[in-house]
Each structure stands twice: as structure tokens, then as C-alpha cells.
Chains A and B, each alone.
Chain A
Amino acid sequence: MPQPLRLRELKVGQRAVIHTVSAQGELGRRIRDMGLVPGTEVEVVGRAPLKDPVALRMKGFTLSLRNNEADYVLVNLAPGAAG
């Protein structure tokens, strides 16, 4: 299995599966509470005009988080995903 990527490195339109969430404290809690837990499938659906924050489609809703927050999330590209 290839090395997990940081969520920040995904391009718009790419799909991936969450590998680990290493954030602690309030940030970790908020990320997990929103359902960003290992095994979750996400798709990057957009980036803000200044490239940050990023918007993810997951579990039937859209979540946005800052790039520096996304750095705590490692992902594996979804099999058969474009790019």
C-alpha cells in the first residue's frame, strides 16, 4: 500500500479514504465530531478563492477546513480515483 498523503495534497475532484487523524484537543475533537474518522470516504469538491480553506464532500454533507487543519489528516487515495 502506498504511503498515506496529507489531505492538503489532494486536488479538487480527487477521492480518498481517511487513514489517520492525529489532531488532539479541541481541533481533534471538532474534526472527529464532524465525522472525519478513519475509514471515511471524502472527495475534495473545492477550494476557496485563495486556495484555503478546502471543501470536502463526505457522509452526505460538505465540510470545510483550513489547510493547516487538514495537515493533521492523512488519507489514502481511493482505488480507481482519478488523478
Chain B
Amino acid sequence: MERVKIALAGNPNAGKTTLFNAVTGARQHVGNYPGITVEKKEGFARVDGTEFHILDLPGTYSLTAYTQEELVARDALVDERPGVVVGVLNAAALERNLYLAVQILEMGLPLALALNMMDEARKQGLTVDAARLGELLGCPVVETVARTGEGVGELLRAAAGHARATGGVRAPLDISYGPDLDPVLARMVARIQEEGFLAGRHPARWLALKYLEADEQVLAAGRAAGPLAAELEGMAERVADHCQRTLRTSPEAIIADSRYGFIASLLRQGVLTRPDGPSRADFSDMLDRVLTHRVAGPLGMLGVLLAVYWATFTLGEHPMRWVEALFGLLAGAADAALPDGLLKSLVVSGVIDGVGGVMGFVPLIMLMFLFIAFLEDSGYMARIAYMLDRVFRIFGLHGCSVMPFIVSGGIAGGCAVPGVMAARTLRSPREKLATLLTAPFMTCGAKLPVFLLLTGVFFPGAEATALFLITLGAWAAALLVARLLRSTVIKGPSTPFVMELPPYRLPTLRGMLIHTWERTWQYIKKAGTVILAISVLLWAAMTFPQLPRERAAMYAAEREALAARAADPGLDQAARQLLAERLALVDNTEREAALRHSLAGRTGAALETITAPAGFEWRTNIALVGGFAAKEVIVSTLGTAYSLGETDPEDAKPLADRLRVDPHWSRLHAVALIVFIMLYAPCFVTVVAIRSEAGSWRWAAFSVVFNTALAYALAVAVFQGGRLLALG
């Protein structure tokens, strides 16, 4: 059977992904390019007995070496050797969309064009002569409407035909770059051909152009390839100097201008006809007048953000319970089926509780991605960035940073796992990193019970005010730390904002569902691998070393003695009750002793000297160590450490009573602890999410170390400062 490999290229918002979904349906696979977070999408389709292997390149406006997306797209075009490239064009903005197409033609790749969104173009009164465009560029041009599937089959047939006809190579398109560049280009091409410089990989003229553009990737590859590189760089520098002196411009600018000039003359040759008179105000412009209005815009945005937050956590609550219940059942079954001992403890506490806790997030993640897909595909996300950019830029962030912050718990009760994943919409690497590292400061749903417990005990009657202040504090911390990071470890100028505000469109349900499912599935796969491993490690740290045999035997003997007394048939109800309570006390004391004896417990105790300046004693330390597994664990571990047995995080009453009367605790202790919990290392699920969004373990490790150090410094400052002011 004939196989054709197609690379799908196009501008963002040109409908490339919609076309990809329309062509491949469910036959697609999403992964990441190694080491970076750009998604790699592949899919398959069969039309008329031809099997198509389709590679969906990241959406780009150009093919420079400035962004990861463009580098990935460019490398894929060179390395994957597609039989034909399909360029997806938004017919309503043909001029800019052809800019990428022209660059692909300059690379000497066979190109078939999809004139997509013809329906929108027609509505604007534009007429595009597809046949004429194809004739001028020497490639097939097919009108499509990817949303409805119109023209998709024809496009694939045309692409396959073009691949067959060209055999995967064609003469590169030659554009004139004017009297200043053409002569030097010709000399460079001649030299490149003489020496066979980087031959077979790139056409000579394309290479020469990249030298004139001072493209970093090509310059580096050239230096490794041979001595001609120095000569070419010299020629490029001289012409750059000349352009600067005589024209006050750069070769790079001349090249871009010439490409657009070429496109403009192409369109004037009967390809594009615009309606006479002023263009009708289009639907998007009218919507924008309301949605980005000075007053109505921000209010509407606040409403939308609140709605996304509310819907995610309200709708997610029940499915989350079901998932938890399912894992509860599993744990119960394992509990009944396995004999008491280490294996049972590993399976129940390490594997099922660990993975279950992580899978509990799945409903939240699905919903959050569904809403974000809606906001992105509809075009509203770009407006959010547009409206908020001025504020977030002050802190070295991007307008799009707002979504990760809010989902993480910018409105108390969120979750940093989907929050960190929401940072995927950020295309500026430095701004994205700063967002990833600071979003976990927000008050997530798992930190809430701790805050509720502490504020309830130490600030009775003022819980609401205290929580509000905590939420504000988290925002202040996130923004200020972002500013700090952006002027130190993630230093660098802000990434240019220059961004398209795409026309408003109603997203397709299919596109949103595919998008949501892909992201969710990646998360689920992670739960089964990395997260499972870490969960088992944490279980081991809280279990080993076990209590020495004689101490375990001591507790067993006590229990037996109590059980023997309870077996006495002559006991009355009250005595029985008393014995049961004493039995529970023995269990709790043993649990506390075992935890104290474990690696986690010893760490907590050993840390006491370090944490004393912040006012934490060893019990708190153990709880904080446990909080790395999941912040919910802080309350339950505090409960265990205070020998109260299985403390339900939702119902912290008995622990609260205990803290209220404990002489060690004061308001100042509570405030220092709140500050620490707000800021310290994200839970490990979040750390894993940060790793995959930032693309390296280095930043994930940084978030653990840096956040903990910061939290410690501030907690100490609060505690010691309070002491000095005699507040404690």
C-alpha cells in the first residue's frame, strides 16, 4: 500500500489542529519532543487506499530560531523528510499566512496549501482565486473548511498527488531580496555549492539567507561543519555593516520586507479581491468593543475566571469523591485479602492510597482542561492576556499567568496540580517558569484544612478574616517572588508580547474533548509511574526502621492484658467502654512511637534544632515532612503525632482541642506555621507536574529547595520578630 508522510504546518489559529483532528479522528498520538515541552502530535488516516502518516507541527508564524516551537517545526521539516508539507492558511488573513508558506518553499520542500476558513473569508467579502495562487506558486491549493470537514478528502488526494509528482523535493523558491542583498547571496550560494557545505541538509540559498539573518542555530551548525563558516559569517557581517551605514536597516529587516513584498505582488496578480469601500465591522470587533471595554471588560473577565473556578471545583467534587470511594473499596479489599504485616501496609498505604490520592485529581484536571480548551479555542484567553498584561508585566509575568494562579488556589481551595498544568498556555519561557514556581504558593484545597484548624483554634471568630488575609498574602508572595526570580535566576528581558487576538469562534466539541483527553491521559500515565514510585518511597520513610521487637512486644502485651480483662463476662457497660478507650490509647501511643522511630520521624526530630527558631517542634516537623506527600497529610500526621489516631482531615475537632490547651502553642506559633505551610515545597505531585511543564528536573528540584528555604526564612522572621515585640 502507498504510504505518504505529511507534515502539517500553519499559523496558530489557522485551524491546523481542527484540520488534524478532522483528518485523523481518534487515530492520533501526543507526546513531547525530548527535553522540551512542545507537544509532538502524530496521526494516521487512510484515503483511497493511501495510508497517510501525519505529523502536526507546532503552530508558528515563521521559521526562525527564536522560539522552541519554530525550532521544532523547522527541524521536523528537515529531519522527518515528509513527502509533502501541507500548509494550512487562514484565508481571511492570507497575506500573513503565506509568510510561513513562502519560507517552506524556500526550503525546497513540496507544499500543498489548504485555504482554510473559506467560510469566514467569504463572509468578509473576500474572493480568493485558489487556482491562480496554485499556478503562481507551483503547488496545489485546495479550499477547505476544517470545522465541517469540507474539502479535507480533496486536500489529502492533492497532497498525495503532489508528493508522488515531486518525489519529496522541489526547486527552492527564489525571491529577489533587492540590490543590496542579491549580489552577496549569489556569491554565498556559489561558495556553498563549491564546497558542498552542509550539502543534502539544506538548499544553498536557504543557508545563505540564514547567514544573512544571523540565525543562531545555523551559525552553530556551520561552525561545526567546516572553515567555510568563517568566510560566510564575514560576508554576512560586511553586508550587515553596509546596510546599517547606508540604509539604517539590517539584512534581517530587508529579508522580511522583501518576503512580504513578494506576497503582496502575488496577491495583486488576481489572487485576492477585497470588497470595495470600508470593510464591514466584523463580529469579533464588535464583541471586543464590549469584552475588552475599559469597565465591562475587566468585570466580565472577573466573572469568567470565577465561573471557571467555581465550575471546576463544584462539578469536580462528586466525581472526585467517586474516585476516592473506588480506591477506598480497593484498599478495603486489599485489607481483607492480605495478612497483617508489611506487604499489606505497602499495598494499602503505599500503593493504593498513594496512587488513589493522585487519581482523585483526575476529575479536576479534566474539567480544568475542558474549560481552558474552551477559553483558548474561543479566542477569549488571548483577551485575558491582553487585559491583564499591564499588571502582570510589573512582576515579570505575562497576562496569561492569571489562569495558573487562580486554579492553583488564587481563590482559596484550588489545586496546584491542574494550576501548574494550566501554565501550558504560556508561550514565553521565562514568564512561564516564574509562573510555575510561584503558583504553588496559593491556598490549595489541601492546605485549607490546616489553615482552618489553626485559625479556628487561635483566632476564633475571625476565621473568615484570617483566611482572606492568608489568600491575599499568598498572592502578594507569588507576585513578589516572581519579581524576585525574574530579576535573579530567571533574569532576562520580557519576551515580546506581540500577539494575535484571534477572531472569536465557537470551539468544536470534538476538538475540546480530544484536547482534554490527551492532557488528562498524560497525567494518568504519570500517576502510574513516577508518582507511584515516589509514593512508595514516602511510605517507606514513614514506616522504616520499625520499632525494635521488644518495644513492639511491650505494646502487644499491654493490648493482650486489656483484651483479657475485657473478656471478663462480669464487666458492666461503663467498664467495657473504659477498656476500649484504653485499648485505643495503646494503639495510638504505638503509632506515635512507630512514627517517631521511622526515618521521617527521626528527620523531624533531627530538624528540631533547625526549626526551633521558627517555633516548630518535632511533631510539627513530621507533619510538614508528611505534607510533601500531600498537604492533606499535615493535619492527619499532626493528629498521629499528637497521639490521636486516625484523624479525619475534614473533622479536626479533637486535634483542635488538644492544640488549644497545649502549652507549647501560641498565636505566634500558629502564624509562623501558616506562613511556612503557605510557602514551603509543593506536594510531590505538583513537583512532578512542574518537572513536565518546565522540561527539567532542575527546576522541579529548585521549587522544592528554594520554596522551603524561603518559607523557613519568613517563618523565622515572623516568629522571632513576634517574640521581640512580645506577641508570643
Contacts and interface: CB of A to CB of B under 8 A. Distances in A.
B560 interface: no
B544 to A, nearest CB: 52
A49 B298 contact: yes
Contacts of A50: 387, 390-391
A39 B94 CA distance: 17
Given A46-B288, A55-B386, A27 B498 contact: yes
B497 A33 contact: no
Contact of B95 (A48, A51, A60, A69): A60
Contacts of B294: 49
A52 B386 CA distance: 8
A64 B256 contact: no
Nearest to B497: A66
B497 A64 contact: yes
A69 B386 contact: no
Contact of A28 (B126, B253, B284, B289): B253
Interface residues of B, number: 46
Contacts of B503: 61-62
A48 B390 contact: yes
Contact of B66 (A26, A35, A49, A59): A26
B497 to A, nearest CB: 5
Contacts of A3: none
A45 interface: yes
B389 A34 contact: no
Contacts of B96: 34-35, 59-61
A34 B361 CA distance: 39
A48 B249 CA distance: 31
B350 to A, nearest CB: 48
Contact of A33 (B126, B256, B293, B499): B256
A60 B386 contact: no
A10 interface: no
B335 to A, nearest CB: 57
Contact of A53 (B126, B284, B497, B500): B497
A24 B240 CA distance: 13
A35 B498 contact: no
Interface string B24-51: 0000000000000000000000000000
Contacts of A26: 66, 495-496
A34 B99 CA distance: 9
B168 to A, nearest CB: 27
A69 B497 contact: yes
A24 B501 CA distance: 23
Given A26-B66, A29-B252, A66-B393, A48 B500 contact: no
B297 A49 contact: yes
A34 B390 contact: no
B501 A63 contact: yes
B517 interface: no
B62 A29 contact: yes
Q: Which of A28, A29, A38 has the largest count of B CB atoms less than 10 A from its CB? A: A29
Contacts of A49: 292-295, 297-298, 387
B292 A69 contact: no
Interface string A12-40: 00000000110010111111111101101
B496 A30 contact: yes
B285 A30 contact: no
A11 to B, nearest CB: 14
Given A35-B99, A66-B389, A27 B496 contact: yes
A65 B382 CA distance: 12
Given A66-B497, A69-B497, A69-B498, A57 B95 contact: no
Q: Which of A35, A49, A52 has the largest count of B CB atoms less than 10 A from its CB? A: A49
B390 A64 contact: no
Given A26-B66, A27-B496, A62-B501, A45 B256 contact: no
Given A29-B62, A60-B93, A65-B497, A37 B386 contact: no
Interface in B584-598: none
B143 to A, nearest CB: 17
A8 to B, nearest CB: 14
B415 interface: no
Interface in B375-406: 382, 386-387, 389-391, 393
Given A60-B95, A66-B393, A48 B386 contact: yes
Nearest to B100: A33
Nearest to B499: A64
A53 B62 contact: no
B92 interface: yes
Given A29-B252, A34-B61, A69 B389 contact: no
Contact of B260 (A24, A37, A46): A37
A66 B66 CA distance: 19
Across the A-B interface, the 9 shortest Cβ-Cβ residue pairs: A32-B256, A60-B93, A50-B390, A33-B62, A62-B501, A61-B93, A35-B96, A30-B498, A27-B496
Given A29-B64, A29-B252, A50-B391, 16 more contacts: A26-B495, A26-B496, A28-B250, A29-B256, A32-B257, A46-B289, A55-B501, A59-B96, A60-B124, A61-B90, A61-B92, A61-B503, A62-B284, A63-B498, A65-B498, A66-B389
21 contacts: A20-B249, A29-B66, A29-B252, A31-B496, A31-B498, A32-B253, A33-B61, A33-B62, A33-B99, A34-B500, A35-B99, A37-B260, A45-B288, A46-B288, A52-B390, A59-B93, A61-B93, A64-B382, A64-B386, A64-B501, A65-B497
Interface of B: 61-62, 64, 66, 90, 92-96, 99, 124, 126, 249-250, 252-253, 256-257, 260, 284-285, 288-289, 292-295, 297-298, 382, 386-387, 389-391, 393, 495-503
